[in-house]
Amino acid sequence: MNNYLFIPAVIGLSYPLTGIADTKINEEPSDSSPIIVTASRTSETLDDTLASVSVITRDDIEKSSARSVADLLRLQAGIDISRTGGPAASTNVFLRGTNSNHTLFLVDGMRVSSATTGTFSFEQMNLSNIERIEIVRGPRASQYGSDAIGGIIQIFTRKNEGHHARIGVGSFGTKEASAGIRVGKEVTFRLNASHEEADGFSATNPDAGFFYNADLDAYKKSNVSADLAIPLGKSMNLSFKAWASDSEVEFDQGTTNGEQQDIVSKFDQQINNTWSQVLSVGYNNQKLETVSAFPSDISTKRKMIDWQNDFVLSDSFLLLVGLSRYEDQAKNINNSDQSVVFDEKIDNNGIFTNLSYRGSVHDFLFSLRGDDHSTFGSATTGLASWGMAISPSLRFTTSLSNGFRAPTINELFHPGFFFGFAGNPDLKPETSDGGELSLRWKSNNVGRLNVTYFHNNIDNLISYTGTNFQAENISSATTKGFEIEHSWQHAKWSVNTNATIQKAYDNDTREDLIRRPREKLTIATTHNYNQDVSASLEVIYSSERLDGFGSNKFDLPGYTLFNLSSRIKLDKHVWLDMRFDNITNKQYEFARGFNTTDRSFYFGVSYDLSK
């Protein structure tokens, strides 16, 4: 596809066949801009931020009737998804073409990316336990440290305003149930629980070769989240948040049993008119047991503390200074003979600062961070962002930043298997530098339209290519491209269009990085017939992409998917939701040899006192 023809086609497809003559050019939209906290570690609106940010709200989740976190993420600009089987199978996210371990995942502010793999099993989170998701594209190591080369995805657990319950069924023997309560006025307590299970479908097809097995691969997963908020006066608050998941997922060679627990306590205080502080303490526990011909039991524990101080220097200047520390411990046991494969610890200390300026025309953000890691030593990262209001409706932003990813415990200390693939304690961190340019237009005539160019160079990539396939720093990569985001509302219609044109490649071979398409387009259109009935259509297009390893590479064909959903109000607090996925029954793959969902149907009934 010609890239230059692709861009105007995206914008043209964004409009349903309705007139817009009654709107005024350059008039500000009436809808409020969401508040975000991840991009700069302070509260700001989506319109004000200098970063490239997308937000998925609780309302978005409910209106879409989406089945998984991946279903929501794949609709966003700059995000590609890869999955090896059904909805609960191992899922990877590629943010702006970077590797899956180049995205930092946070849950309620707690770092949850695995200490052994560097990725987060977000496929084990049920949507009924999620309040919103903030996606920050571009390096943010200067604020959060390691892993945030491609960006950050922060998931906030549900903060329901009333009691609620839901039951649902669907294709592949899917059954789900969830419920939540909220009690208290000043001191509030929320508890949400959910369970989902399915008979599933075969994770693999004959292209998987030796690994192919035509049996059904079932799954079940349960989530619990809790939130306790205690005001300690007019200027102090104490809160506790917890989230836990338990899952059992079948694959063709066995079963994985996963557990995750995440606890964060936070104390915030407004000391005076110009100084406030937030102290956060967190604990994360992950356990993954594999029952197969090569059984293992891997457990990781993380302790975290973060202290942030905000100083209002004037009406325009804000200074942020903070300290952070986390400790990781990982233990790997071979269940066949109960031998300890490894039992290792690492830790990281960080100090960070932000200086932001917000004026009538110009905005600035400068951030700097220093990290000291127990294995490789120190790393210094920075970010400089500038925004300029060209007119009341048009804004230009740009940023330059660098980042790094610390080697995981597996990459450092794993003794290997099959006489190879061992870790390397002498590994250096992966590093990156890059930037972006963005134009943002906001008016009732066009809604919100963002066009962004990004470029990222990544060096010291870790690869198992040394002697006996030992881990080593050897390669480098480049990711670059355009993102186009468009949201528009008119009368009873709303349209969200996101497009990505990118090239992610190995600098030595010039070959595309696997499982990352060069072009992607998503259109999500909703029509509200009245206050009680709405219907939505999703169109997802992805171009062909490369898959495989070494010299054994394959081209995965591109695909276009169509999904339908509807939400109907049956009573004051009762809703019926329905979703048809892949209505044309398109056969496609995220990864060679692994099946994806055929045409499927789901529906559920929910009760919510806050509605």
pLDDT at 209 over 90: no
Q: How confident is the model at residue 558 (pLDDT cuts 50, 70, 90)?
A: very high
Extended beta strands in 444-558, E state? 447-464, 471-490, 493-506, 519-528, 533-542, 545-549, 552-556
Could you identify the residue written with the tokens 């008039």? 27
Task: Write the pLDDT tens digit of every residue in 40-64.
Answer: 999 999 999 999 999 999 999 999 9
For residue 30, is pLDDT > 90? Answer: no
Per residue, what are the HEC states of 19-38? Answer: CCCCCCCCCCCCCCCCEECC
Query: 211: pLDDT confidence band, cut at 50, 70 and 90?
Result: confident
The stretch 426-455 carries a mean pLDDT of: 96
Q: Render pLDDT for 306-318 as a digit per residue (tens, 0 to 9).
A: 999 999 999 999 9
Would the pTM of this model clear 0.85, i.e. be above it?
yes
Q: Determine the pLDDT at residue 550.
A: 79
What is the average per-residue pLDDT within 142-162? 97
Q: What is the mean pLDDT of residues 125-144?
A: 98
Mean pLDDT of 502-508: 97
Close Cβ partners of 291 (under 8 Å, ≥ 6 residues apart) = 254, 255, 256, 257, 335
Backbone angles phi, psi at 7, to 5 degrees: -65, -55
Mean pLDDT of 72-95: 97
Please check the confidence at residue 610 and state whether its pLDDT lies above 90: no
Provide, rounded to the nearest whole percent, the portion of the chain with pLDDT above 70.
95
Residue 189 reports pLDDT greater than 70: yes
Q: How confident is the model at residue 152 (pLDDT cuts 50, 70, 90)?
A: very high
Quickly state the pLDDT bin for 6 (edges 50, 70, 90): very low
What's the pLDDT score for residue 268?
Answer: 98
| Cβ atoms of residues 183 and 128 within 8 Å | no
- Give the pLDDT confidence score for residue 331 in this predicted structure: 97
Task: Domain count for the chain, please give it.
Answer: 1
Residues ≥6 apart with Cβ < 8 Å to 22:
none
Q: What's the pLDDT score for residue 534?
A: 95
Distance CA 40, CA 320 (A): 10
CB 157 within 8 A of CB 129: yes
Instruction: Please report the pLDDT score of residue 466 as a whole number.
Output: 86
pLDDT of 361: 98
List, for residues 435-445, the tens digit of each pLDDT value: 999 999 999 87
Question: What does the mean pLDDT of the chain come to?
Answer: 93
Encode pLDDT of 457-502 as tens digits: 999 999 998 888 899 999 999 999 999 999 999 889 999 999 999 9
- Cα(385)–Cα(389) distance, rounded to whole angstroms? 14
Owning domain of residue 581 = 3-608
Which CATH number do you get for residue 245?
2.40.170.20
The answer on pLDDT for 20 being more than 60 is: no
pLDDT band for 322, please (50, 70, 90 cuts): very high
Q: How confident is the model at residue 29 (pLDDT cuts 50, 70, 90)?
A: very low
φ/ψ (deg, to 5) at 348: -145, 130
Tell me: pLDDT of 417 over 60.
Answer: yes
Confidence of residue 517 (pLDDT cuts 50, 70, 90): very high
**Does the pLDDT value for residue 212 go beyond 70?**
yes
pLDDT tens per residue across span 560-577: 999 999 999 999 999 999
Backbone torsions φ then ψ of 492, nearest 5 degrees: -95, 5
